[in-house]
Structure 1
Amino acid sequence: MTESPEPPAHLAHLKGMDLVRRTLEEARGAARSQGKDVGRGRSSIPRKVAGNSRRRWSGPGPDSRDPQVFAAATRDLARSRGWSARVAEGAVFGRWQTVVGDQIASHATPTALDEGVLTVSAESTAWATQLRMVQAQLLAKIAAAVGDGVVNKLKIVGPVAPSWRKGKYHIAGRGPRDTYG
């Protein structure tokens, strides 16, 4: 019996590669039998093709990742969370003096905002009457300052007289004969 000659030196690495390939196939078969999904050496993540991916740097133009003005950042946060209506309502109370002016603000204050109706409390019945006369202009100023639709109507009330009710029983009538306001 004659022994087969050794393969030439340049083909010896092919025999080793065949052994590696068979070992890998056996390992893949064992993994598949355990229910594992095994690829063939390629990544399951698709590669990005040049030209199809968006750049990841800001560049010379403005970008959303650039530093923002605090007011713009909070406005965007309120809009994304659905707080815009509540923020606008708070702006009516917060900016009252700048919206209506110093003179009106010193004699009338907003007390409640419910479903677009702003309740304003005047310090006297005379001021309440004057505010009712300029109600349309006040609504326009408020809409210009905080946006349309926040305040649709004004309810202007005068001062509240003290209650003379004492105890749990009450008789209907005019009460004390004094005027207030």
Structure 2
Amino acid sequence: MSDEAELPESMATYLRLRGLEPSPYRRKRRQRRSADSDENVPFTAGRDPHGVGDVLADLTRTAGWNSALAREDLVRTWDDVAGEETAKHTRPVALDAGMLTVQADSTAWAKQLQLMRAQILSEIVRRFPEAGVDSIRFIGPDVPSWKWGPRAIQGRGPRDTYG
């Protein structure tokens, strides 16, 4: 049975397909694969374990999430970036096209922060360069608008109220 010359071709094919007698091509493939492939051999180059932090850093870099995560970190750590006292009276509300909008509790705080703009911006760029913040805008508190709401009247409204 080991000599395929004495068996008819159909019987040799049957035995090969049933796995009873290996094909001469399969033997060559196995030898070639085991000689060329070192992927399952331990202690070779590229098989060193990586830390979870390194794996996550590579994942965020390849997925393009670094800028979005840097923006989220900026908002999350605003009290460290701006300082505790300043963070008590301010909060970042928007980041659009490189401009960070920060809302203050009062117009006095907004004006004071405009004077400190360069210092806060340099701290943001130093800590979060991937966030893409180019400028900062400080706004005061939201005041109610009389032009919107359930009782607003369309049109110009009264102009001569004292006369």
- Does TM, scored on the shorter chain, surpass 0.5? yes
Which blocks of at least 5 consecutive residues in structure 2 are unaligned?
A: 15-21
Q: Do 2:67 and 2:130's aligned partners in 1 also have CA atoms closer than 8 Å? A: no
User: What residue in structure 2 maps to residue 57 of structure 1?
Assistant: 42
What does 1:25-174 correspond to in 2, within 5 Å?
Answer: 25-27=9-11, 40-43=24-27, 44-45=29-30, 46-49=32-35, 53=38, 56-58=41-43, 63=48, 65-66=49-50, 68-70=51-53, 72-148=54-130, 150-165=132-147, 166-171=151-156
Deviations, residues 41-73 of structure 1 (Å, cap 9, x unaligned): 4433433338x73674358xx93x24x254x44
Question: In 2 relative to 1, CA 23–151 (structure 1 residues): closer, same or farther, beyond 3 Å?
Answer: same
Deviations, residues 71-102 of structure 1 (Å, cap 9, x unaligned): x4433322232222211111110111111110
Q: 1:118 and 1:55 mapped to 2: Cα distance?
A: 50
Question: In 2 relative to 1, CA 150–97 (structure 1 residues): closer, same or farther, beyond 3 Å?
Answer: same
Query: Could you say what the CA RMSD is over the residues aligned between the two structures, in angstroms?
Result: 3.3
Q: Quick one: percent identity of the two aligned structures?
A: 30
Question: In 2 relative to 1, CA 55–17 (structure 1 residues): closer, same or farther, beyond 3 Å?
Answer: closer
Structure having the higher helix fraction is: 2
Aligned residues: 146
Selected match of 2:6 from 8, 17, 22: 22
Deviations, residues 78-133 of structure 1 (Å, cap 9, x unaligned): 22322222111111101111111102111111011122211100111111111111
Which blocks of at least 5 consecutive residues in structure 1 are unaligned?
A: 1-15, 31-37, 175-181
User: Any idea what SS the aligned residue of 2:71 has?
Assistant: helix
Q: 2:95 and 2:2 mapped to 1: Cα distance?
A: 81
Q: 1:58 and 1:130 mapped to 2: Cα distance?
A: 60
Question: In 2 relative to 1, CA 127–74 (structure 1 residues): closer, same or farther, beyond 3 Å?
Answer: same
Q: Residue 135 of structure 1 aligns to which amino acid in structure 2?
A: R
Normalised TM-score (structure 2): 0.70
